[in-house]
Amino acid sequence: MHLTYSITLSSFSSIEDIYVTLEKLADIGFNQLEMFGEPDEIDLKFMNDIILSFNFKIIGITGMWGKISPMGWKRRILSNDISFRKYSENYVIKCIEMCNYFGGDKINVCLFADPLDWFDSNHGFISHNDKKNKLSKSFSMLTDLANRSKEYGINLLIEPLNRYSTPFCSNLEDSLFMVEHCENLGIMLDTYHMNIEEDSFKNTIIMSKNFLHHLHFADNNRKMPGFGHIDFDSIISALKEISYSETISYEPTILNMEYKKDLIFGKNYIEKIESKYD
């Protein structure tokens, strides 16, 4: 069984006009996209009409958390401030409705908290108990959001980010703690973050089997696969072993408009690896 791939539109959102991006992606051979989650900034009908005109399918929404969005700093599900928590909850609800409008079936949630003045992101350490105490305060909200999401046929997915982004949900172990306590919540993994936090790509994927509904592919340098040192062979092997049938989205960092050859290289690199297992 072949794996199914898409690409994140958030990678291109500040590079060029959407028409130009879609034309290039279609020419490369992509037919599925992951829409960036900015429901207050997008004319949904206008965007949907453009996407459909190129015969793309939207598979889900990329939540815009943290510094990747001008409003990301307010999206703190783990905040001590109720106004930040409420803002975050409303943001996820809008993303659920947006995802439903585009016909997608997945949204990623990243668990940011208030900044920690004492936390040294290079060497600091937060104990498992402190993590669990912080994470457990979000159980009720995330269960409600996951149940609401399920009503639309959409998977709400926890994405662990590496410790330099957030110290509270940074690896599979943290994510499993969440999904085991929150009804209808799933997991999404990102190879860039896994490269920093996990001991083994293959073991992590196998351990996530019962909850894994989506992946982001990027190399250790945030470029397309094949431009860094991540062992994508072990990743593909593990996905085949667990009979993974959901989508995978490429999520490269794009810095200029001359990106087509890099996308083609990365796409071919992964297809060559996968062909070994067919």
At residue 14, the 3 state secondary structure works out as: coil
Report the distance separating Cα 166 and Cα 14, nearest Å. 24
Domain range for 256 is 4-275
At residue 217, the 3 state secondary structure works out as: strand
pLDDT tens over the chain, length 278 residues: 789 999 999 999 888 999 999 999 999 999 999 999 999 999 999 999 999 999 999 999 999 998 888 899 999 999 999 999 999 999 999 999 999 999 999 999 999 999 876 556 556 678 889 999 999 999 999 999 999 999 999 999 999 999 888 889 999 999 999 999 999 999 999 999 999 999 999 999 999 999 999 999 999 999 999 999 999 999 999 999 999 999 999 999 999 999 999 999 999 999 999 999 87
Token readout for 186 is 């799933």
Catalytic residue among 38, 159, 198, 274: 159
Catalytic residue among 34, 38, 197, 251: 251
Asked about 197 being catalytic, the answer comes back as no
Q: Report pTM.
A: 0.95
Q: What is the DSSP string of 241-275?
A: HTT--SEEEE-----SS--HHHHHHHHHHHHHHHH
Asked about 159 being catalytic, the answer comes back as yes
Report the distance separating Cα 55 and Cα 241, nearest Å. 32
How many residues appear in the chain? 278
Token readout for 275 is 């062909």
Q: What is the pLDDT of residue 122?
A: 56
CATH number, domain of 213, equals: 3.20.20.150
For the chain, the domain total comes to 1
